[in-house]
């Protein structure tokens, strides 16, 4: 997955092409596809979570922004500066920051393991000629795995996402951490997802064929919210919480939602449609969750 997504020569996220949007040549859409209203809601929620602190004391840092774009690119914001860290850029955080990401952690490499004959075996990828295939291997299983599971149960363990969270939460900066993504609890991953959670996306079609089109399709894996929450707590973040995207915006950006709804009350405008897509449970409101926490300087 690291090779297929991030290799400088052939990685999916290193290719100069439009990946995100509704066009025929794109592969998926996300909250940012809804236009500036997503950035407006993030901005409003961040100001609420800063709890009276002056936003102009903070630099807004977006990790994993797409080339030529950013969540606040078309938004009037109150922050001292906005900085986008893109794939391949060094991540350097210092001072007072708001560290934000949108669908960053689900695109990190994972380890796939299967419970076979009373033991966990790792599933690797073999290359024979020009053909890629899965292969079961004997390997030391991560300590977090349950002692037993149903025969053939597959766990896609999002270990690199946890490592990245620990890296971003390192005590070189203070302020607010906000990550929009999709994931599950460890209990859900180990009891409710018998075929794993990794998926491929190409031209807006979801597939379980992770080895098709290497470097030309997106690969994702549900993250473990428990692990990311623990990573923040260990690094001194307080009030760490995970909310559905719907709840996050309703709880922390309600004034902006009310303002948009009131201003567009007489018509069903594109902005109201975007708001519906972001909040409604059947759209993105429940599919995505938001992890946030604050660390004092």
* Rounded average pLDDT over 99-117: 96
pTM over 0.85? The answer is: yes
Question: What secondary structure does DSSP assign to 24-78, as a single string?
Answer: TT--B--GGGG-HHHHHHHHHHHHHHTTT--GGG-EEEEETPPTT--TTTTS---
The answer to whether residue 67 sits within a structural domain is yes
Same domain, 91 and 191: yes
User: Exposure pattern of 98-133 as b/e (b: 16+ CB <10 Å)?
Assistant: bbbbbbbbbbbbbbbbbbeeeebbbbeeeeeeeeee
Asked whether residue 148 carries a pLDDT value surpassing 80, the answer given is yes
Mean pLDDT of the chain: 92
Residue 178, pLDDT score: 98
| Residue among 91, 102, 81, 94 nearest 31 (CA) | 102
Same domain, 68 and 187: yes
What domain range is 16 assigned to? 2-110+160-206+219-295
Asked whether residue 20 carries a pLDDT value surpassing 70, the answer given is yes
pLDDT tens digits, residue range 167-200? 999 999 999 999 999 999 999 999 999 999 999 9
Same domain, 41 and 101: yes
* pLDDT band with cut points at 50, 70 and 90 for residue 27: low
Spatial neighbors of 293 by CB under 8 A, at least 6 apart, are 176, 177, 229, 232, 233, 237, 238, 239, 240, 241
Same domain, 140 and 227: no
The answer to whether residue 213 sits within a structural domain is no
Structural domain total, the chain: 2
CATH number for the domain that contains residue 25: 3.40.50.12710
User: Cα separation of 114 and 121, whole Å?
Assistant: 5
Same domain, 42 and 128: no
Same domain, 151 and 201: no
Same domain, 43 and 144: no
The answer to whether residue 227 sits within a structural domain is yes
The answer to whether residue 241 sits within a structural domain is yes
The rounded percent of the chain whose pLDDT value lies above 90 is 76
The answer to whether residue 25 sits within a structural domain is yes
CA atoms within 13 A on the CB side of 210: 24
């Amino acid at each position: 997955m690291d090779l297929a997504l991030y290799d400088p020569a052939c990685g999916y996220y290193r290719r100069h092409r439009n990946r995100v949007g509704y066009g025929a040549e794109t592969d998926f859409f996300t909250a940012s596809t809804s236009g500036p209203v997503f950035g407006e809601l993030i901005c409003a929620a961040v100001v609420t979570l800063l709890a009276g602190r002056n936003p102009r004391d903070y630099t807004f840092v977006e990790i994993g922004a797409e080339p030529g774009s950013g969540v606040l690119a078309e938004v009037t914001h109150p922050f001292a500066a906005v900085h986008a860290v893109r794939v391949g850029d060094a991540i350097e955080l210092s001072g007072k920051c708001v560290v934000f990401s949108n669908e960053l952690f689900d695109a990190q490499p994972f380890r796939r393991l299967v419970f076979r004959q009373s033991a966990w075996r790792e599933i690797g990828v073999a290359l024979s000629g020009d053909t890629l295939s899965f292969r079961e291997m004997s390997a030391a299983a991560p300590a977090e795995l349950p002692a037993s599971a149903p025969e053939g149960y597959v766990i896609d363990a999002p270990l690199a996402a946890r490592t990245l969270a620990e890296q971003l939460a390192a005590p070189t900066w203070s302020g607010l951490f906000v990550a929009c993504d999709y994931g599950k609890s460890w209990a859900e991953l180990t009891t409710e997802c018998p075929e794993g959670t990794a998926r491929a996306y190409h031209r807006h079609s979801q597939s379980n064929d992770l080895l098709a089109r290497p470097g030309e399709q997106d690969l994702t894996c549900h993250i473990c919210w428990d692990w990311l929450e623990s990573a923040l707590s260990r690094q001194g973040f307080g009030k760490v919480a995970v909310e559905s995207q719907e709840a996050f915006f309703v709880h922390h950006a309600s004034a902006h939602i009310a303002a948009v709804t009131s201003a567009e009350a007489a018509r069903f405008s594109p902005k109201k449609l975007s708001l519906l897509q972001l909040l409604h449970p059947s759209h993105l409101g429940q599919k995505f969750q938001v992890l946030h926490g604050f660390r004092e300087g």
